[in-house]
Each structure stands twice: as C-alpha cells, then as structure tokens.
C-alpha cells in the first residue's frame, strides 16, 4: 500500500512560534476572544465546485492579538462535519456508478494574520466597519474516517486564506462575517483518489487535484483593553 508522508514537525514549530512571538509583541495592545457558528463545505473528487447543498454545521473559538491598527494575529480552533455524496452531486455517469460518499468530523487548529483595510477602531471617526483579508497555516484532524483505501495520517496541513467584513456593535463587541478557503496537500478527504483503471470498480479519482475545504461563518468578538504600566518620567 502507498504510504503518505506525515506532516513535517517544522510546520508545527512555525505555527507555535508565530503564536508565541505575536503574543509577546502585543503586551500594550488590545486582545480579543470570540466564538462563531457557520458551515464547512468541500470540493474534490465528488464535488468539483462550491455547492451550498453540501454545507454542514461547524463552529469556531479564537483568540486575537492586535499588533497594530490594521494587522492582527488570530489563533483558532474550528470544528464541524464535512461530507458529500455522488448520489447528490451526479457529476457524470461514472460518478453515479461509483456512488461514493463520506461524512467525517474535521477539527482544525490555525494561526493566521489579518489585514484590515480601514482604520475602523478610531473613535474620532464615525467609521464602524472594515473589510479584511487573512492568511496563515493550519493543522486539521479527521475523525470517523471510513475504511482507508491507502494508509495516511489523519492529521494533515492546510493553508487557510480568505476575507470578510467586521462591524463594531459597541466599544467592547463587534461582529464579523467571513469566508475562508483551506488549501490542502491531501487527496483523501473524500477517501477517493487514484485507482487501478484495469479494475472496473469505478472508484476513480484525480490524484493530481488535491481536496479543498471551506468555512463560512459569523463570529462575535469581545475586546479586552490591556493598560500598559506607567513609566517613571524622572529616569
């Protein structure tokens, strides 16, 4: 059987390094914590393009450190169901014959940097919203995986990126709507990839096209104000 490589410990180290260094860099900045609900979705061998019909419930919790007026670092734990079926997708006659499906529980630990286009936190201006972009690094774990066609690790790496819009409710709370793409280097989210074409099992997939999953959600955030220690003016 084919043996897929496990995620490199280097990527794990980078994720924790970014979290630690950013946390220490924002001692005098505001920090935030929040929760959100939304949906996971997927594209791969069973579903070729984003389809709201395959959306499944997901949730997220996160901590955010504000590095500057426009840049933040966010560490998140996101989890939910992910699945699709050939029966509903019906890409072509071969997929109908294949009749494959999957339904897994996916959890993700991520660290991303956010860039806000507007100085929305300045109380001197009436602006109460901003669009933003984000990108970073994530590890995801799959539970409830059916019998594997090949051997691989249930923990894999993805690259999260996307954007959204934030709106201030009051000085302590704001809401955000976000759409995020998770680019993987993995072709077995749906447990379908390459196959022996000489065997008429119709379990065919494209091994050169990695699977992708998505998170669409709404979050609410609580802001905490860190008051810097006073300095001695006579030093």
Residues 6+ apart with CB under 8 A from 114: 64, 71, 72, 73, 74, 132, 133, 134
**From CA 42, how far away is CA 144, in angstroms rounded?**
16
Say yes or no to pLDDT of 192 above 80. Answer: yes
Tokens of 93: 């006659």
Among positive and negative, which fits the CA dihedral 95, 97, 103, 108?
negative
Q: What burial letters (b/e) apply to 52-61, b meaning 16+ CB within 10 Å?
A: eebbbebbbe
pLDDT in tens, 26-84: 444 589 999 999 999 999 989 989 999 999 999 999 999 999 889 999 999 999 999 99
Residues 6+ apart with CB under 8 A from 234: none
Where do the domains of the chain lie, and which CATH numbers do they carry?
Answer: 9-224 (2.40.160.20)
**Mean pLDDT comparison of 3-17, 132-146, 180-194, highest-scoring range:** 132-146
Say yes or no to pLDDT of 149 above 80. Answer: no
> What pLDDT is recorded for position 163?
98
Tokens of 16: 């924790």
- Average pLDDT over the chain reads 83
Say yes or no to pLDDT of 224 above 60. Answer: yes
**From CA 202, how far away is CA 208, in angstroms rounded?**
18
């Amino acid at each position: 059987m084919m043996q897929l490589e496990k995620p490199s410990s280097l990527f794990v180290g980078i994720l924790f390094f970014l979290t630690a260094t950013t946390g220490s860099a924002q001692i005098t900045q505001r920090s935030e914590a929040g929760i959100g609900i939304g949906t996971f979705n997927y594209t791969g061998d069973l579903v070729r393009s984003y389809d709201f019909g395959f959306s499944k419930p997901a949730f997220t919790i996160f901590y955010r450190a504000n590095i500057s007026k426009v840049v933040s670092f966010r560490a998140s734990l996101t989890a939910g169901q992910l699945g699709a079926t050939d029966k509903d997708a019906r890409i072509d006659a071969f997929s109908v014959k294949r009749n494959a499906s999957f339904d897994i529980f996916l959890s993700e630990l991520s660290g991303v940097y956010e860039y806000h286009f507007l100085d929305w936190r300045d109380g001197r201006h009436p602006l109460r919203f901003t669009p933003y972009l984000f990108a970073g690094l994530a590890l995801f774990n799959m539970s409830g995986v059916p019998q594997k066609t090949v051997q691989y690790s249930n923990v894999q790496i993805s690259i999260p990126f996307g954007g959204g819009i934030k709106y201030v409710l009051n000085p302590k709370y704001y809401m955000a709507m976000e759409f995020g793409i998770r680019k993987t280097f993995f072709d077995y989210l749906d447990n379908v990839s390459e196959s022996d074409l000489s065997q008429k099992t119709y379990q065919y997939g494209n091994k050169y096209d990695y699977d992708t999953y998505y998170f669409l959600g709404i979050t609410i955030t609580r802001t905490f104000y860190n008051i810097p220690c006073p300095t001695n003016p006579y030093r």
